[in-house]
Amino acid sequence: MKIAIPVKDESLQFFSNAGHTPKFAIYEMNGSGMFRSFQLQEVRDNPRSDLDHDHTEEEHECSHGHDDEEHIAQHNKMGMVLEDCNFIVVKRACKNTVNAMKSNGISVVKYGGDSPQSEAILRELANKFIA
Give the pLDDT confidence of 98-112 residue by residue, as tens digits: 999 999 999 999 999
> Phi/psi of residue 44, each to 5°?
-110, 145
Q: Which domain range does residue 64 map to?
A: 2-128
Segment-wise mean pLDDT, segments of 10 residues, the chain, 131 residues: 96 93 96 86 88 51 61 88 96 91 95 95 93 71
- pTM of the shown model: 0.86
How many H-runs (helices) and E-runs (strands) does the chain carry?
3, 5
Domain count, the chain: 1
In Å, the largest CA–CA distance within the chain is 44
pLDDT tens per residue across span 72-86: 888 899 999 999 999
Q: Is 59 helix (H, G, I), strand (E, B) or coil?
A: coil
CATH code of the domain in which 75 resides: 3.30.420.130
